[in-house]
Amino acid sequence: MKTERRSAIKKILASTTALVGLGPMAMAKNKEAETTPVAIPKKHDYFEELGITRVINAGATMTFLSGSLMMPETMEAINATAHDFADMYELQDKVGAKLAEMLHCEAAMVTSGAAAALVLGTAGIITGTDADKRKQLPNFPGPRPEVIMQKSHRYVFDQAITTTGAKIIEVEGPEEMEMAINKNTVMALFFNAAVSWFGTEDTIDHEAFVGICKRNNIPSFIDAAADVPPVENLFKYQKMGFDLVTFSGGKMIRGPQSTGLLFGRKDLIEAAKLNNSPHEAPLGRPMKVNKEEMFGMYAALKSYLERDHKKEWQDWLARAENIRSEIMGIQSVKGKIHVPDGPANVVPSLHVTWDSKQVRTTPKQVHEALKSGTPSIFCALGEKDGEALLSVGVVLLRPEQVAIVADRLKAVLRKAV
> How many residues would you count in the chain?
417
Tally of CA atoms within 13 A in the half-sphere of 301 that contains its CB = 26
Q: Which residues pair with 332 in a beta bridge?
A: none
pLDDT at 39: 54
Q: Thinking of the domain 71-306, which architecture would CATH place it in? A: 3-Layer(aba) Sandwich (3.40)
Q: Which residues of 64-97 are buried (b: 16+ CB within 10 A; e: fewer)?
A: eeebbebbebbeebbeebeeeebebeebbeebbe
d(CA 343, CA 393): 17
What is the per-residue DSSP string for 380-408? EEEEETTEEEEEEE-TT--TTHHHHHHHH
Q: Side by side, which strands form the sheet with 220-223? A: 107-111, 260-264, 244-248, 220-223, 185-191, 146-150, 167-171
d(C-alpha 329, C-alpha 227), whole Å: 35
207 sits in the region (left: phi over 0; alpha: psi -120 to 50; else beta) called alpha
Q: Where in the chain is the domain with CATH 3.40.640.10?
A: 71-306
CATH 3.90.1150.180-classified regions of the chain = 309-415
Q: Which residue numbers in the chain have pLDDT < 70?
A: 1-42
Query: Can the peptide bond before residue 286 be classed as cis, meaning omega within 30 degrees of 0?
Result: no
Predicted confidence at residue 41, as pLDDT, reads: 60
Closest CA to 362 of 376, 379, 374, 348: 379
| CA torsion through residues 21, 22, 26, 27, sign | positive
**What's the pTM?**
0.88
Q: According to the model, what pLDDT value does residue 217 have?
A: 98
Q: Give the pLDDT score at 384.
A: 86
Domain 309-415 sits in CATH 3.30.450.90: no
Nearest to 334 by CA among 314, 321, 351: 351
pLDDT for 127 = 97
